[in-house]
């Protein structure tokens, strides 16, 4: 299978640069919509701001749906402190220590951007001695120091910064010569780029899906309510999301992970077996894994009562919800399985 991995990587890097999270996704959804449009794929928006692309298939009597989410981890201004710094609340599940000393951007309702950095309240060992080393990193002990000459709450308010403003952290994207991709927010922009790469492959090779195929770009997955509507005739729903790499897991940074169970539910056995068999036919390097503290759009959709078989697969990613890393091989394997599934 002739995969354009350079396109996938280029698209991924571009998507990672666009700030996005639950409640702030219009710019990135529009960017993805334009990419579908360039491939001649029709799209429509949901009321919640998600995107649904549709590709006609050979069999119009049935349909499948694949999804990936553009929303990532972020933060929001919870309080302007008396010293002019910002107390934040998290958007998505992560440890605050994962973002310590990370550069960030505050986006105000007035359209202005301000840079800053996330620090503990007690950051300097010169000032706070052992407390700087030993203090817990929590929502109540971290603050955003903005790069403006502010010393009071009023100083910060004069800039137009207010409670409810979104805060986005630097993704720090790097691609190494030996194929590793390091960045925050590979979850799940890597899978968005993979799905666009799959569409590109099908269009360039003039291959039609086996049945009507929908691609759902969700924008609230990290909040747990990414999928709220199911197009007609969909009897299989496959979420593309990251495989978690670590002790006690089979997932690998070079492979595609097929998830057997997450923290909420087992996935549909017949559909999982179908994916495993398709991977074997194409000699795709895959792993079957059980994930903890994990959910996907398809498993949450099942819990919300969507009447469809459901599965999940995606590239193996190390240090998930921290400074993540995968490999080009995993992107290729995930893309091949997506194409194989769509055309099977």
Residues designated catalytic = 221
Q: Is 263 exposed, middle or buried (0-12, 13-18, 19+ CB in 10 A)?
A: exposed
Distance of CA 136 to the CA centre of its chain: 27
* End-to-end Cα separation, the chain, in angstroms: 14
CB-based contact 324:185 (threshold 8 Å): yes
Distance, CA of 234 to CA of 63 (rounded, Å): 5
24, two tokens = 């702030």
Q: Which of 119, 124, 122, 113 is nearest to 86 (CA)?
A: 119
> What is the distance between the alpha carbons of residues 322 and 72, in angstroms, rounded to a whole number?
12
The helix (H) or strand (E) run that includes residue 311 is: strand 309-318
Partners of residue 142 on adjacent β-strands: 120
- Rounded to an integer, what distance in angstroms lies between the CA atom of residue 57 and that of residue 212? 4
* Three-class DSSP category at 19: coil
- Distance between CA atoms of residues 199 and 213, nearest Å: 11
Q: How far apart are CA 332 and CA 119, in angstroms?
A: 37
Phi-psi label, residue 84: left if phi above 0, alpha if psi -120 to 50, beta otherwise: left
Cα–Cα distance measured from residue 302 to residue 310, given in angstroms and rounded to the nearest whole number: 7
Closest CA to 253 of 261, 262, 244, 240: 244
């Amino acid at each position: 299978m002739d995969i354009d991995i350079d396109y996938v990587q280029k698209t991924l890097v571009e998507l990672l640069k666009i700030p996005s999270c639950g409640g702030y996704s219009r710019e990135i959804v529009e960017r993805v919509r334009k990419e579908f449009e360039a491939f001649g794929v029709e799209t429509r928006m949901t009321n919640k701001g998600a995107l649904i692309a549709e590709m006609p298939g050979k069999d119009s009597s049935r349909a499948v749906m694949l999804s990936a989410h553009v929303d990532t981890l972020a933060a929001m201004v919870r309080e302007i402190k008396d010293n002019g710094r910002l107390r934040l609340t998290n958007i998505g599940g992560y440890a605050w220590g994962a973002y310590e000393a990370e550069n960030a951007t505050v986006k105000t309702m007035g359209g202005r951007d301000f840079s800053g950095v996330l620090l503990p309240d007690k950051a300097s060992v010169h000032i706070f001695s052992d407390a700087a080393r030993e203090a817990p990193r929590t929502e109540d002990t971290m603050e955003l120091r903005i790069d403006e000459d502010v010393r009071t709450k009023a100083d910060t308010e004069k800039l137009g910064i207010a409670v409810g403003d979104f805060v986005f952290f630097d993704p720090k994207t790097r691609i190494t010569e030996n194929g590793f991709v390091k960045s925050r927010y590979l979850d799940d922009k890597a899978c968005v780029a993979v799905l666009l790469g799959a569409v590109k492959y099908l269009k360039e090779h003039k291959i039609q899906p086996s049945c009507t195929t929908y691609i759902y770009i969700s924008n609230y997955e990290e909040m747990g309510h990414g999928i709220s509507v199911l197009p007609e005739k969909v009897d299989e729903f496959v979420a593309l999301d990251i495989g978690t790499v670590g002790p006690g897991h089979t997932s690998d940074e070079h492979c595609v992970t097929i998830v057997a169970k997450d923290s909420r539910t087992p996935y549909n056995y017949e559909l999982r077996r179908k994916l495993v068999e398709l991977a074997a036919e194409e000699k795709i390097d895959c792993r079957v894994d059980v994930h903890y503290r994990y959910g996907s759009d398809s498993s949450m959709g099942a819990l919300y009562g969507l009447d469809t078989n459901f599965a999940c697969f995606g590239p193996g990613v190390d240090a998930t919800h921290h400074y993540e890393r995968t490999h080009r091989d995993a992107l290729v394997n995930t893309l091949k399985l997506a194409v194989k599934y769509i055309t099977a």
